Amino acid sequence: MTVSLTIGRHSTRFPVIQGGMGVRVSGHRLAGHVAKAGGVGLVAAAGLALNSGLFNGKNYYKADREALLTELAKARAIAPDGVIGVNCMVAVSNYDEAIRASCEGGAQLIVSGAGLPLNLPGLTADYPDVALVPIVSSVKAAQLIARKWHKGFDRLPDAVVVEDPDTAGGHLGEKMEKIANGDYDQYATVRGVKKYFQDQWNLDIPVIAAGGIWDRADLQQALAQGADGVQMASRFVCTEECDAEDAFKQAYLQCKQEDIGLVMSPAGLPGRALVSNVAAVRQHDLDKNVRCPLNCLKKCAYKECQERFCIVTALDRAQRGDIETGLVFCGTNAWKSDHIGTVADIFEELFPQEERAAG
């Protein structure tokens, strides 16, 4: 099978993107080591100020920017020759600043979802070498982005990630009632997006399958079904290099398939997580009388009327190891985690030595 990936002007040895996992689950260690191993490493921009040592309780946006620059520099030190990018959520209040900081910090690509990144090319206009990769779950969304980018910025995506809402972790770009109802066909969507860019724009860009990719068999299936590569997130949590605390990783190791489900994020998007403690996540904010501390989301039910919970602080608590009142995002395959390994171990399983030699 093909064991390389080119996105814009950047090429990796293996067709694997490490998915962005916000609030310091995929920080510099994970992103750097994935890039060093031959994949695309992504620092997740969301919530980096928290647990950074830069946040004093009042300077969230400034600290978030400085923390992103720091994480990118540290990731680059791990993988001087690797491909390192940033995952930026459209839903965050400081999206524009996160995009600019990503470019200034040397990100080679930006992967963007949790909303449609319709103004992304404008924000990166001064950095033409930065590859732009939107996340979609439908051909319609890819079409909308392409038309908007072409008309407004004379730009088209360098790749597209097609995320399967039935299996992916974290925030999902689909309505709750349409998730896991049996109607979604991920690889039909992958092929549809691929065909759209070929037919409409005479453009052959990589289309990346995300969600539910765990092992070599899943990778081979994705490539056989028309994907040019895969994005994997949950699989990288139980590694020594993952930036989350050990208790977060233990939650993956100890969870069962039935522990994984859907929650409604205050951002207005469904999310997939370990759901057994969601009531405790909510109760924490009630007991502490938590008000919106950061204004981190453009739209937030908790900010507006204290509905649900403050998601960024819930994710922060989990990343720090509080899995009783913290929210642990994960994909449907998280229960398959059975040991703490290394990033290198995962790449060795995905790509046997003979393929590495051939590559």
Each residue's pLDDT tens digit, 132-169: 999 999 999 999 999 999 999 999 999 999 999 999 99
Looking at residue 90, its pLDDT comes to: 96
Each residue's pLDDT tens digit, 164-195: 999 999 999 889 999 989 999 999 999 999 99
Q: Indicate whether 271 pLDDT > 90.
A: yes
Measured at the CA of 68, the angle between CA 281 and CA 18, to 5 degrees, comes to 75
pLDDT-derived band at 224, boundaries 50, 70, 90: very high
Looking at residue 4, its pLDDT comes to: 93
Q: Indicate whether 278 pLDDT > 60.
A: yes
Each residue's pLDDT tens digit, 28-61: 999 999 999 999 999 999 999 999 999 999 999 9
Tokens of 27: 């920080």
Q: Indicate whether 1 pLDDT > 90.
A: no
What gap in Å lies between CA 121 and CA 128, rounded to an integer?
Answer: 9
Chain center to CA of 233: 7
CA distances from 152 to 25, 121, 125, 149 (A): 34, 9, 12, 5
Looking at residue 316, its pLDDT comes to: 95
Three-class SS string for the chain? CCCCEEECCEEECCCEEECCCCCCCCCHHHHHHHHHHCCEEEEECCCCCCCCCCCCCCCHHHHHHHHHHHHHHHHHHHCCCCEEEEEEECCECCHHHHHHHHHHCCCCEEEEECCCCCCHHHHCCCCCCCEEEEEECCHHHHHHHHHHHHHHHCCCCCCEEEECCCCCCEECCCCHHHCCCCCCCHHHHHHHHHHHHHHHHCCCCCEEEECCCCCHHHHHHHHHCCCCEEEECHHHCCECCCCCCHHHHHHHHHCCHHHEEEEECCCCCEEEEECCCHHHHHHHHHHCCCCCCCCCECCCHHHHHCCCCCHHHHHHHHHHCCCCCCCCECCCCHHHCCCCECHHHHHHHHCCHHHHHHC
- Segment 196-210 shows an average pLDDT of 98
Looking at residue 305, its pLDDT comes to: 85
CATH class of 5-243+338-358: alpha beta
Looking at residue 292, its pLDDT comes to: 86
Looking at residue 18, its pLDDT comes to: 98
Measured at the CA of 169, the angle between CA 168 and CA 174, to 5 degrees, comes to 65
pLDDT-derived band at 354, boundaries 50, 70, 90: low
**Where do the structural domains in the chain lie, given as residue ranges?**
5-243+338-358, 248-320
Q: Indicate whether 93 pLDDT > 80.
A: yes
pLDDT higher at 354 or 171: 171
Do the Cβ atoms of 83 and 109 come closer than 8 Å? yes
Residue 131 β-bridge partners: 109
pLDDT-derived band at 355, boundaries 50, 70, 90: low
Looking at residue 333, its pLDDT comes to: 98
pLDDT-above-90 percentage for the chain: 91
pTM: 0.96
From the list 336, 317, 207, 198, the residue with the least C-alpha distance to 259 is 336
Tokens of 241: 């290099």
Looking at residue 307, its pLDDT comes to: 84
CA distances from 306 to 37, 282, 291, 345 (A): 43, 10, 7, 43
208-233 as b/e: b if 16+ CB within 10 A? bbbbbbbeeebbebbbeebbbbbbbb
Looking at residue 2, its pLDDT comes to: 61
pLDDT higher at 358 or 154: 154
Q: Indicate whether 248 pLDDT > 60.
A: yes
